[in-house]
Amino acid sequence: MNGGVLGSSEVQSSESPEISPEIGPEIWREIWPEIEEPVTLFGHWICPFSVRVEFALAQLGISYEVVDVPPSAARPKDFVVPEEFHANSPRAEIPMIREGGRYLADSIPILERLYSAVGALSGAALEEAHWVDQNIFPPMIAIYYGVNPKSIRRASERLVDSLGDLATKLVATGWLVGDGPSIAEAALIPCYVRLDGLRSLGFEGEMPSSVEDHAARCLTLPGGVAVRWSDEQQSEFSGRFHKYRDLKNAVD
């Protein structure tokens, strides 16, 4: 989606940092023994991948600061991208963190680093985070990038199906893994954050009650409160994509 409404950070379906995202918590702790606070997050509220990272930082109680860097296609013409970001973000897209003198880009590897550092990373939770990437994010993104009723409806149906599968994962404890929020909830939170915006853009169908309950609980967690959108942000999000659709349909 380079050159689209939100930029290429919207399509990080298989993130590949210089450090492998699946090297395990013991190796992470050996490479980076402990978190050096505060962590600096280069990101923006409208980017779902940045939302993941900010949720995790707030949820894990890690002190942080945000350097506002909009996704490439949402940057104002006069926006000056920090040179530090240019020099250290391999894809020139958000999110990226600075921790001490080290840099790490792409949301799942960043989440893995943060959860590992506090001893809260498990293989099962990481597997569910990848499941979210593969099953929730594609139809979610397809809804707001859809430009005709048929494609939007098809994406909406796919998301409803995936949320049905999500409901089955919540049966045991009400959380994706174990008895509390994990890296899997951090991966999923952008969907919950933008639900009102998605509905205004054509998302139809009832969510399973267990998913609605899960969303409500996630958004009242410390991490959820930190990233929850205001009515103005929901409106700005949906407005961008209504305008995008109008422009695409006018050209076509």
**How many separate domains does the chain show?**
2
> Which run of H or of E encompasses 58?
helix 48-59
d(CA 169, CA 140): 19
pLDDT band with cut points at 50, 70 and 90 for residue 14: very low
Report residue 228 as tokens.
């929850």
Rounded Cα–Cα distance for residues 203 and 63 (Å)? 35
Last residue of a domain, one of 94, 117, 140: 117
Is residue 3 situated within a structural domain? Answer: no
* 1 lies in some domain: no
Q: What are the tens digits of pLDDT across the range 82-126? A: 999 989 988 888 999 999 889 999 999 999 999 999 999 999 999
For the entire predicted model, the pTM comes to 0.88
Q: Indicate the residue among 117, 142, 159 that finishes a domain.
A: 117
Structure tokens at 198: 């998605």
Contact 177, 125 (CB under 8 A): yes
Q: Would you mind telling me the total number of residues written for the chain in this entry?
A: 252
Which residue segment(s) compose the domain that 107 sits in? 8-117
Report the 10 Å Cβ neighbour count for 139: 21
Q: Are residues 127 and 111 in the same domain?
A: no
The verdict on residue 82 lying in a domain is yes
Q: pLDDT for 170-205, tens place per residue? A: 999 999 999 999 999 999 999 999 999 999 999 998
Least confident of 3-12, 114-123, 242-251: 3-12
Same domain, 140 and 242: yes
Q: Which residue has the tokens 């979610």?
A: 140
Structural domain contains residue 62: yes
